Structure 1
Amino acid sequence: MVRNTDFRKLGFIGDYLPRKCGIATFTADLFGAVAAQYPSIDCCVVPVNDIAEGYDYPREVQFEFEQQDLDSYRRAADFLNFSNIDVVSLQHEYGIFGGQAGRHILALLRDVRMPVVTTLHTVLKEPSHDQRRVLRELAELSSRLVVMSQRGREFLLNVYGVPATKIDVIAHGIPDMPFVDPNASKEQFGVEGKHVILTFGLLSPNKGIEYALQALPEIIREFPKVVYIVLGATHPNLVREQGETYRLSLERMASDLGVRKNVIFYNRFVERHELIEFIAAADIYLTPYLEPAQITSGTLAYAFGCGKPVVSTPYWHAEELLADSRGALVPFRDSGAVAQQICSLLRDEPRRHAMGRQAYTLGREMIWSHVAHLYMNSFQQARRVRFDRPVKPLAIQTLDERPWELPKWRLEHLLRMTDSCGLLQHAKYTLPNFAEGYCTDDNARGLQFVMALEEMGLDTLEMQRATTRYAAFLDAAFEPQQRRFRNFLTFDRRWVHEDILGSDDCFGRAMCALGACIGRSKQRSLQCWAMEVFHRALPAAVEINSPRAWASTLMGIDQYLRRFEGDRGVTQVRAVLVERLVDLHTRASSESWPWFEETLSYDNAALSHALIISGRASGDDAVRELGLRSLKWLVGIQRAPRGHFRPIGSDGFYKRGGPRADFDQQPIEAWATVSACVEAYRTTEESSWLNEARLAFEWFLGRNDLGVELYDASTGGCHDGLHADRVNENQGAESTLAFLLSLAELQQLESSLAAFRRAAEAAADLQPT
């Protein structure tokens, strides 16, 4: 075991105290243990903040970065590079970093020059597509990976293909405390003479406290002096979303069960020395979690290592740690089994004592001082591996080496176009055009965009107000008897009578937005509303005739099935619409024109996009490949001789065998292409699709036929189109949202944009010499 080291400086990245989070506690404990065992090493902490104001950190914190601010990840990498850190210890859990599946952290890892040892606090057996990609890339960028159980190691090997030589198994650390009689510690809590059952950790619905409470009446019948202590504050994220509703529901349940006198809720995030005192007073530790998919539990490690008999449901960490009768396992959601096991242990004091003694003995290998040395071994191995690889001598990057950067978010114009009724559809220059009123099309796009912002953690109070207005507009637009959406509303709040059924395309866009609410939003009330309208409108989806409406509806269905995969009715509608698109392509296409229609008109890429995502989600390879093939042909048609993006113009479109209209070019075409190519990349992971998405997006930024920018960085709006001789100066809702939705697609796809750097290089190779 390494005790002498030539390290000068270690950096620790993760949540950090005083943030109320289990990983924050772990990072602080690991930092403290390594600093204590290796006092010659300068250790610093670089925490990630989940709130704008940050936290009152201790002095070892030398730099902070923001969860949702991608640039701050790169600044953190610069800080680590210029600070001459020898090794970084990263604590990883998907939810603590920004971006889709926490991918923002990859930006930092790609830019640091020192080896990284990543501790994985979550390893999923059945990850989503994005979670799998993030962890695989995280593994590639890390010199070593640490997991806390053998099962975690097996998942890395078999699910993610990580080499065995790169994995270290190091148990969750625990404090070093003596094995004591619980009765000696009970007096300070006023529970002397009672049997104490303890559960601790941040309170949330997945902890299964309900089943522990339901077990109490049976336990109390035999052991009336039992007290159940639930120690820990409600999880901060739950408090932000729901307040203390969940804790209050548990307290009401205790009252209804008649066990209020036997239950103590300590609604506090306790310091480690306080926690040790609570553990010391416990006769039994209970962990009734509801799901098996938990690879690590710090609370279980603490209780077990401190010599407490444990009753637990068989989630992965408990199943491994408590094997061979080192604890008692009970089925999930079975309060009767919980009561039976606890009563059995309370009856049998010798068994209870022996179980605790065995746990305590094994726990000596888990104390933090020992764990610190195991981590130092891992750090040394990581450093040896890095020595074998060439490292650039400078931390700074040339322009050629820097990743392609996206514009900053500017939402002023979108908010300028939004009033108390909804989103106005047209503008005169940058002024909202009241005379043209509102339309459902744009409010649906607006709702789709704010759902993307919410998913990225960027939904400010102003955008939350906009969410309510866009959703309310769609709700008012829905005509329940016809199951359709009106489209046009005048500024004086009157629906255009002739438009009572709206258009097919309006229907599709509304369904796409509703699906986004259902699949992406964390707001339960918004989900419930969207579910109601979605299901009432869905039967009309098979009655409409527009292929683009079919495509938009399929996109909404794809979002819906993110959350409700088993809904057979929705799956059947998807199958009908997919079949129609496939049949359309079969009848219209030829070898030289492999398209769905005789004419390339508007929103073209949406047709391919719908088949790509539907084929991927349903496992229909033929459908997915048809979407990819048709999109590949389309992007070729939309490529100008000089290599930039040139969409089909709306001034005549492009009929097979006829002349092609190159103008007027519309922003919606660039967005549709960006979106479809992003999905093509997610499906195939072929970098050529990133290049196509990049080219389409750069159309907004001036890489187009006229060389002028359509995105106005001074206002946050987007011009309405590109004419043959000029840009349309008006900045309407459709155009602005086309740009913002494109930006959101790219932000969600690749946080560090290293993939876009490769796409930029590929694009440069395509330029004529």
Structure 2
Amino acid sequence: MITVGFITRYPPTHCGIAEYSKFLISALRSLNPKMEVKVFTTRESRIDRYFDEIGVKVIPCFSRFEKDYSELVDAVNEEKVDILHVQHEYGIFGYGSEIIDALTEMKEERIAEVCVLTTHTVDHPYTTRPEVFEFQNSLNQLDAVVVHSDLQEFELITQGVDATKICQIPHGTLINPYLGYTKHFLAKSLGLDEEFCGITLAVPGFMRRDKGVDILLEALNHLKELKFTVMLAGEPQDEVVRELVENFESKTVLLERYLSSDEILRVVALADAIVLPYKDRKGAYAVSGILHLSMGGLKPILGSRTPRLVELCQHAPWMTLPPNNALELARKIEWLVNNYEFTVSYMSELYAYAARTQWISVAHELYELYKKLMRKKIVL
């Protein structure tokens, strides 16, 4: 039986990659209960080893932006795994190739048979951080590189990564378990008074400038006669955005705190539609986890045409608009509110995509990749 070691941030650390890893590992264990999964994680939340509530052994053994992964190597050697799988984000591992050097060392010393890395962000030549190319140029040293979108795959191939090593597996989607609950129950469970007027539009996730909150607030100024409520739900990570939100009172409900994935699911279930007015992150290709949590709510989603929302552009193009365009966003919101039932039916292709990318399906694709890579090692 395969033993897999994930190198990643992990709950209770507040991080999208941490939540992603928990969903993926839970799905892998549901798919194959005999699979043993161990998590090698940062020391940000705990320093002691422990088993989490789904029975996964968690070993804190490195720091964020680590330069020396010797303690990680020792921990993996002690725990014995067949496959190592890194959930990579530059905000966790930094811009250099130290983590790949550590993986290469463990392969050479036969501490692990197979090394896989998921690149959650791929930078292209217009990036503001050219030092990341040291990392991206070293990806050929691995057995497989997992990406989430066509944009990421083609960019890595252009940069010289072996196409046969790249495996595109979509980000997972959870069909929202709260869809049958009443708005009253959901609002109360989130600590909100039931003060919703008309259609409820939710903006879930961390509140930062790149999430386009300022553009949304500007758009709302054009819609003062329209009957709707906007729910801003998430932890502010930018003082400018915090001040904008707190000083804006018209038609908004605020939930200003860190929200777990379960709470975001309740926010999505409470809403009638989701608005994601993201701005483009210059030089970077990624996929939005919030988009997938929103897709699982089977509600209309309105978003900007940015790389992070490429799946929305592909499956519901009419529900997208150029970034940084408050007037166009206002027009789209007005159309959505006045044509809600039609919008719900228009989103059917995106709902089908949500069903196809459920976590259990994504876990199956990844498990098949693991088996393929292990068979190759046995043949060699």
Q: How does 1:153-192 map to 2 (within 5 A)?
A: 153-158=153-158, 160-177=159-176, 180=179, 184-185=182-183, 188-189=186-187, 190-191=194-195
Match of 2:300 among 292, 303, 309: 309
Check if 1:67 corresponds to 2:64.
yes
Q: Is the 8 A contact 1:319 1:329 kept in 2?
A: no
Distance in 2, Cα, partners of 1:50 & 1:68 = 12
- TM-score, normalised on structure 2? 0.87
1:439-478 → structure 2 map (5 Å cutoff): none
**Correspondence for 1:199 among 200, 203, 209:** 203
**Amino acid aligned to 1:278:** V
Say yes or no: does 1:121 pair with 2:133. Answer: no
1:20 is aligned, of 5, 14, 17, to 14
1:606-617 matches, within 5 Å, as: none
2:183 partner amino acid: S
Equivalent pairs: percent with the same residue?
24
Identify the residue that residue 74 of structure 2 maps to in structure 1: 78
- How far residue 131 of structure 1 moved from its aligned partner, in angstroms, is 1.0
Closer, same or farther in 2 for the Cα pair 1:131/1:150, shift >3 Å? Answer: same
8 Å contact kept, 1:212–1:338: yes
Query: Can you list the C-alpha shifts for 1:101-127, whole angstroms capped at 9, x where unaligned?
Result: 143312321222321121111011224
* Cα distance change on mapping 1:117 and 1:68 into 2, 3 Å: closer
**How far apart in 1 are the matches of 2:348 and 2:179?**
10
C-alpha RMSD over aligned residues = 2.5
Q: Which amino acid aligns with 1:155?
A: E
CA contact (8 A) 1:116 1:382 kept: no
Listed one character per residue, the Cα deviations across residues 44-88 of structure 1 (whole Å, up to 9, x for unaligned) are: 11112458x7599753312421124433x1221222133220111
Aligned to 1:229: 231
Q: Is the 8 A contact 1:309 1:327 kept in 2?
A: no
Task: Compute the displacement of 1:21 (Å).
Answer: 0.9
Q: Which residue of 2 aligns with 1:142?
A: 142
- 1:342 aligned onto 2:336: no
1:250 to 236, 245, 256: 245
Q: How does 1:476-625 map to 2 (within 5 A)?
A: none
1:117–1:378 CA contact under 8 A, matched in 2: no
Partner residue in 2 for 1:321: 312
Contact kept, 8 Å, 1:16 with 1:23, in 2: the verdict is yes
Deviations 1:590-634 (A, max 9, x none): xxxxxxxxxxxxxxxxxxxxxxxxxxxxxxxxxxxxxxxxxxxxx
Query: With CA pairs under 8 Å and 6+ residues apart, which has the higher RCO, 1 or 2?
Result: 2
Tell me how far 1:140 sits from its aligned partner: 2.1
CA 1:319–1:83: 2 relative to 1, 3 Å:
closer
1:655-706 superposed Cα distances (whole Å, 9 cap, x missing partner)? xxxxxxxxxxxxxxxxxxxxxxxxxxxxxxxxxxxxxxxxxxxxxxxxxxxx
* Structure ranking higher in strand proportion: 2
- Does residue 284 (structure 1) correspond to residue 266 (structure 2)? The answer is no
**Amino acid of the residue matched to residue 136 of structure 2?**
L
How many residues in Structure 1 have an aligned counterpart in Structure 2? 361
Structure 1 pair 324–356 and aligned structure 2 pair: CA distance change class (3 A): closer
Partner residue in 2 for 1:132: 133
Q: Distance in 2 between matches of 1:57 and 1:343?
A: 50
- Give distance in 2, aligned partners of 1:68 and 1:179: 37
SS in 1 for 2:222: helix
Which ranges of structure 2 fall in alignment gaps of 5 or more residues?
A: 188-193
Query: Residues 284-342 of structure 1, C-alpha deviation per residue, up to 9 Å, x if partnerless?
Result: 21111111544211101221233121111111132343325355111111111111011
Measure, in 2, the Cα distance between the counterparts of 1:140 and 1:31: 25
CA distance in 1, matches of 2:177, 2:100: 41
Contact 1:179/1:307, CA 8 A, preserved across alignment: no
> Alpha-carbon deviations, 1:391-439, whole Å to 9, x = none?
xxxxxxxxxxxxxxxxxxxxxxxxxxxxxxxxxxxxxxxxxxxxxxxxx
Q: Kindly provide the amino acid, as one letter, of the partner of residue 233 in structure 2.
A: L
Is the contact made by 1:185 and 1:277 (CA closer than 8 Å) also made in structure 2?
no
Instruction: Name 1:385's counterpart in structure 2.
Output: 376
Check whether the contact 1:18–1:55 (CA below 8 A) recurs between aligned residues: no
Is the CA contact (8 Å cut-off) linking 1:305 and 1:366 kept in structure 2? no
- Counterpart CA distance in 2 for 1:144 and 1:345 is 42
Which runs of 4 or more aligned residues in structure 1 lie more than 4 Å from their structure 2 counterparts after TM superposition? 53-58, 178-182
Higher helix share: 1
1:645-684 alignment to 2 at 5 Å? none
Distance in 1 (CA, whole Å) between partners of 2:315 and 2:352 is: 14
Evaluate the alpha carbon distance shift between residue 186 and residue 358 of structure 1 in structure 2; reply closer, same or farther with a 3 A threshold: farther
Q: Deviations over 1:552-608 (max 9, x none)?
A: xxxxxxxxxxxxxxxxxxxxxxxxxxxxxxxxxxxxxxxxxxxxxxxxxxxxxxxxx
Which of these two proteins has the greater Rg computed from alpha carbons?
1
Work out the CA distance in 2 between the residues paired with 1:15 and 1:164.
27
Q: CA deviation at 1:145?
A: 1.0
Q: How far apart, CA to CA, are the structure 2 residues paired with 1:187 and 1:335?
A: 33
Shift of the 55–310 alpha-carbon distance from structure 1 to 2, 3 Å rule, reads farther
Do 2:214 and 2:244's aligned partners in 1 also have CA atoms closer than 8 Å?
no
The 1-side partners of 2:295 and 2:346 are apart by 10
The within-5 A match list for 1:203-218 is 203-218=207-222
